[in-house]
Amino acid sequence: MKIKVIGIGGVGCALLSTLARFLNFSDKEVEITLIDGDDFEIKNQYRQSFNKLGNKAEITAERLEKEFTKIYFRSKARYVTEETVGSLIREGDIIFLCVDNHATRKVVSDYCGELSDMVLISGGNDWIDGNVQVYLRKNGEDVTLPLTNDYHPEIQNPRDKNPGEAGCGELAESKPQLLIMNNAIAAAMLNSFYVWFTGKLKYDEVYIDIMSGNARSVRRDRA
């Protein structure tokens, strides 16, 4: 089982420890590759797990491999862009997309649409709400809709910048995020992975609002 976790920020950090613990005590041979071109910053320690400064993917892989010894961890200190995506994502991958920008979501979704078989689980959030999308392809066909479907024009035509392609000073300041909401999205992504893993997945998107306590799943028609 080859897993790629793209984006080791608030959601990625929340997701990885639980995912690794679940798989470490399973009967699967597992390789998890962590992908992020960014560095940890002290200002984000309230919602990101790290024990020293440095590249997010490298530092987190180094920390996790000491605890979960049955899993082979790899790290890629790179952003996912149109130029790098083909070297980072491969046929048969299970991809957890934990980024905070639509430009990267579009790059990943578009590339996954060219693969024959893959699982893409994408999560994102604002302060108190967010969503998870599940894009599946099998035998060269879409089982569910890509992230860039008509319900998400913000991903089809992103107005933000891919951090790997933006020049110095072009990236807008990230919106403040809530650790509790990061955890809720990470949990929903893991829920979707487990339900897919058991062969019982009947939805392709989940909406979450922690203030109202609502979590609603939907299934979109295939294109």
Residues of the chain with pLDDT under 50: 168-170, 172
For residue 173, how many C-alpha atoms fall within 13 Å in the half-sphere facing its CB?
4
How far is 123 from 108, CA to CA, in rounded Å? 13
Question: Which 8-state DSSP code applies to residue 200?
Answer: -
Give the residue from 74, 123, 58 showing the smallest Cα distance to 97: 123
Strands 129-138 and 2-6: unpaired
- Bridge partners (DSSP) of residue 31 are 2, 72
> Could you state, in order of their start, the residue ranges of all structural domains in the chain?
2-218
Helix (H/G/I), strand (E/B), else coil: 47: coil
In sequence order, what E strands does 93-196 have?
94-97, 118-125, 129-138, 141-142
In sequence order, what E strands does the chain have?
2-6, 31-35, 72-76, 94-97, 118-125, 129-138, 141-142, 205-209, 214-218
Q: Which two tokens stand for residue 63?
A: 């920390």
Q: What DSSP assignment string belongs to 149-162?
A: STT-HHHHS--S--
CB 18, CB 186: distance < 8 Å: yes
Residue-level pLDDT at 169 = 47
CB atoms within 10 A of CB 21: 14
How far is 14 from 5, CA to CA, in rounded Å? 12
Give the residue from 72, 98, 143 showing the smallest Cα distance to 8: 98
CATH code: domain 2-218 is 3.40.50.720
Residue listed under structure tokens 């995912």: 19
Measured distance between the N- and C-terminal CA atoms of the chain, rounded to whole angstroms: 28
